[in-house]
Chain A
Amino acid sequence: MMFPGDSLTNLSGQINATPAQRAALIQAYHFNETVFHQYWAYVQHLFNGDLGLSMSSRLPVSSEIMNLLPATIELSVVALLIAMVVGIPIGFIAAVNHKKIADNAILSIAMIGYSIPVFWLGLLAIFVFSIQLGWLPSAGRISLVYEIQSVTGIQFIDILLSNDEYKWQAFQDATLHIIMPACVVAIAPITIFIRLARTSMIEVLDTSYITAAKAKGLSFWQIIYRHAIRNALINVIRHIGLQFANLVTLAMVTEVIFSWPGIGRWLIESIFQRDYTAIQGGLLALSSFIFIVHILTDFIYAALNPLARDRKHGA
């Protein structure tokens, strides 16, 4: 309702509706009734998966989102995995070397990494790895040469499900395509994970059960492997969900740079085209997605950490 223009048009996406169509729309969205009825009708449409028509492509917004969201999920998940695999161990190394040169060096590099704007990093990566070295492709999810039937929308799964004779070539090609955008998206979360893992590890190393383990006569690395890492990880996992929103924002920008056919690129294009139905629908889909991820991480955290479960029972 805050968008400029006619709110009925903005909701339905019917730009040049005939009077008859318009009457039907007024009926459908209860526009001749009170604001509460209108809102109720709007929410009903939402829950029926009706987000209106895209003003530019004239296709249902919901079907466009269903086509595009998997690509974004794929990119974000791969980036998240990279960030975890790289960031957390480095953070632990920094914590183990607390207040030594290695710690300071890692922190400084993390600061630099966190400060690099993602759009610049993306362009730089294309320049170096695609144009200068020619190692990695610069755009898209897979070379257009391969025809992959979309079943789940997650391309790696679709490739594995397909019966194409060039399946493994396609798989290789898709892997090469995802490396660069995923790494670019991962850079900022890596630095965050470094700091999270470091703080959490330092806290754990300060606790009394570590001192007790030391008193038992365990060696330093035994303490780290058996006691510290597991306890430190639990705290990190709790924050991963919170980082996901940040990650998706980065993914949106990265999608534009690498022509990744995901929801972020589509949303930014829609903003340029003033496609209000698409903007509303896209934002709604993205925020619900992040919402779901947050809930999921809470569940995972609870599953992993008995303390959290107990506290819940107690409350």
Chain B
Amino acid sequence: MSFDHYKRHILLSLLLASSLLGCNNEDTTSLSTKSIIYCSEGSPEGFNPQIITSGVTVDATSKQLYNRLITFSGIKNDIVPSLAKSWHVTKDGKKITFYLRKDVQFHQTKYFTPTRNLNADDVLFSFNRVLDTNHEYHHISGGNYPFFQSVELGSIIEGIEKINDYTIRFQLTRADSSILANLATDFAVILSEEYAQQLSNLGLHKQIDLLPIGTGPYQLKEYRAGSYIRYTSHANYWGSKPDIEQLIFDITPSNTGRLTKLLAGECDVVAYPIAHNKIIERPDLTLDAVTSYNVGYLGFNTTKPPFDNKLVRKAISLAINKQAILDTIYFGKADIANTIIPPSSWAYDKTLPKHEYSVSHATKLLQQAGYPNGFTMNIWAMPVQRSYNPDALTMAKLIQGDLQKIGVNVTITSNYEWSMFLKLVAEGEHQAVLLGWSADHPDPDNFFSPILSCASALKGNSRTFWCNHKFDEHIQSALRTDNINKRKKHYAQALKIIAEEVPLVPIAHSKRYQGRNNKISGKLLNAFGGINFTEVSKQ
């Protein structure tokens, strides 16, 4: 005690010197080697990915706090067991039975102590909360489940049935080969029914999305809005436990702030870095990149002349210099999009003709279509930045310049606020629009159905209002079978129809970047979905 006091006294008087000498040599490992600091770009909206789709929240919660029944794994994104150790799909594809693991424990935190392991009730609760509009928890936090609503899970799943404590059966209204992929996304997480029950008894329903309890590798310790999130590793995690003890999300919205922290070694990993060359230059840092499952495109309003004529659409697509757009807008950090799905998807057809840039060919097509003197059109450029299109206005200006060469005059509309913009575009005010799509899971259907199916054309979701029955038939039949070769054939046909009909001009598949200190190893980024700190380790 007195020694300690003496030491303290010395330290206070020699404040600077003590810091430089270091006074705790008996500690062999420092806390920082057991912790990872991730500099994220924003604060999460909540801690439950069921109720949101924003990337920030998915990054912060999905893979850290929760598990899904099944998950994606490997380069090919195969669906592999997670909380369900196996599953069985009946021949007609209408019944899926999941057999759950018995050794899965929930987080034990200051605010909740679990008394039982995961069982079928938790799965039932997690999905009924989303699907059953009369559920006690359905309307907590607004009652919106954007991902589940967009894939219409409610109309696909007829009911969920508990067979026994560790067996659960999904009854579907129709066979749908993308259902497993949907259940493996970042959004289909499993919550604790016991925790929900406890909160319900206390009347604190809202806490379920703010103070999360899951089965994932990390649990929430502390969250200071706008400042940081502190996770600690889940002591009883059922999978292989992460090497690190603490995972900290340092919320740093400023781009330069994140770069500085990476360069100064204050962050181990940073999201969306700027100044890529600076990071590459440094021997102790690595720049990771994955081509995301997304596409930025120029969509035509195919109900309005002259874009009801496919020759005109084709002419425009030939006249756009995609390489120049890539260099200017994406700084070369993207791949040219040849069709709506990225080449890394299994449904991509390698025989598809490559994009052609030919002004003379385009002029010829315009003449054939009956517009030898060109025409005037408008392009609506989205007023927000997205990874698939970081600067739509400049892109529109580049296209304006390109189309000038074939005699087409372009006026650009971009002065609407984002929600108004979407509303007017959904009503078909535009002739052509610069938009994009980010996939939630690697199943190719997530590109075809939402962007170009007849259903989406009717609902105004597609913005091209293009409905081709042959195309629709192909994507529907692809969904009805789970034979991957058959699906491939159908999708190849569908891609061919897109190439012929050109309802939209795919422009780029952008990449997602991350800066990382070389001390950190392990796979963090995927082509889709949020960042994953499960397999990460630090030297």
Contact = CB atoms under 8 A, between A and B. Distances in A.
A70 interface: no
Interface in B194-242: 222, 225, 227-228, 230
Contact of A139 (B15, B22, B35, B261): B261
B470 interface: no
A145 B19 contact: no
B31 interface: yes
B324 to A, nearest CB: 33
Contacts of A166: 27, 30-31
A89 interface: no
Given A138-B266, A145-B32, 4 more contacts: A126-B260, A145-B248, A168-B27, A171-B11
B16 interface: yes
A137 B266 contact: yes
A137 B266 CA distance: 7
Contacts of B263: 130-131
Contacts of A175: 15-16, 18-19
Contact of B22 (A126, A147, A172): A172
Contacts of A167: 24
Interface in A131-186: 131, 134, 136-140, 143-147, 160, 165-169, 171-172, 175-176, 179
25 contacts: A126-B264, A131-B263, A134-B265, A136-B264, A137-B266, A138-B261, A139-B252, A143-B37, A144-B228, A144-B248, A145-B31, A145-B246, A145-B248, A147-B230, A166-B30, A168-B22, A168-B23, A168-B27, A169-B24, A171-B18, A171-B19, A175-B15, A175-B19, A176-B19, A259-B252
Contacts of B230: 144, 147
Contact of A169 (B31, B250, B264): B31
B8 interface: yes
Contacts of B248: 144-145
A60 interface: no
B146 interface: no
Contacts of B11: 171
A181 to B, nearest CB: 14
Interface in A228-281: 259, 261
A261 B227 CA distance: 9
A146 B15 CA distance: 19
B522 interface: no
SS of B interface (majority) = mixed
B263 to A, nearest CB: 5
Nearest to B32: A145
A137 B37 CA distance: 14
A145 to B, nearest CB: 4
Nearest to B11: A171
B260 A138 contact: yes
A142 B372 CA distance: 68
B260 A139 contact: yes
B257 interface: yes
B228 A131 contact: no
B8 A172 contact: no
The 4 closest A-B CB pairs, nearest first, are A175-B19, A168-B24, A130-B264, A145-B35
A139 B32 contact: no
Contacts of B261: 138-139
Contacts of A143: 32, 37, 266
Contacts of B24: 167-169, 172
Contact of B23 (A137, A139, A172): A172
Interface of A: 57, 126, 130-131, 134, 136-140, 143-147, 160, 165-169, 171-172, 175-176, 179, 259, 261
A137 B246 CA distance: 20
A169 B31 CA distance: 8
Contacts of A146: 31
Nearest to A160: B8
Nearest to A78: B15
Contacts of A261: 227
A167 B11 CA distance: 12
A195 B15 CA distance: 27
B529 to A, nearest CB: 25
B260 A131 contact: yes
A172 B266 contact: no
A174 B24 CA distance: 15
A145 B37 contact: yes
B242 to A, nearest CB: 16
Contacts of B8: 160
Contacts of B27: 165-166, 168-169
Contacts of B252: 139, 259
Interface string B158-173: 0000000000000000
Contacts of B250: 144
A292 B46 CA distance: 42
A143 B8 CA distance: 21
B227 to A, nearest CB: 7
Nearest to A144: B248
Nearest to A126: B260
Contact of A137 (B19, B222, B264): B264
Interface in B246-288: 246, 248, 250, 252, 257, 260-261, 263-266
Nearest to B260: A138
Given A140-B266, A171-B19, A130 B260 contact: yes
Contacts of B31: 145-146, 166, 169
Interface in B369-394: none
A145 B231 CA distance: 11
Contacts of B222: 147
B355 to A, nearest CB: 41
Contacts of B30: 166, 169
Interface string B1-42: 000000010010001101100111001001110010100000
A137 B8 CA distance: 24
Contacts of A160: 8
A274 B56 CA distance: 25
A69 to B, nearest CB: 17
A126 B250 CA distance: 19
Candidate in A165, A175, A179 with the most chain B CB atoms within 10 angstroms = A175
A179 B17 CA distance: 12
A139 B19 contact: no
A259 B265 contact: no
A145 B228 CA distance: 11
Contacts of A131: 260, 263-264
B82 to A, nearest CB: 30
Nearest to A82: B16
A147 B18 CA distance: 20
Contacts of B32: 143, 145
Contacts of A172: 18-19, 22-24
Interface in B111-167: none
A134 B37 contact: no
Contacts of B265: 134, 137
Contacts of A176: 19
A165 B222 CA distance: 19
Contacts of B260: 126, 130-131, 138-139
Interface in B337-355: none
A168 B22 CA distance: 8
A14 to B, nearest CB: 20
A54 B227 CA distance: 17
A147 B232 CA distance: 12
Contacts of B22: 168, 172
Contacts of B246: 145
A169 to B, nearest CB: 6
B365 to A, nearest CB: 52
A136 B266 CA distance: 10
B261 to A, nearest CB: 6
A261 B265 CA distance: 19
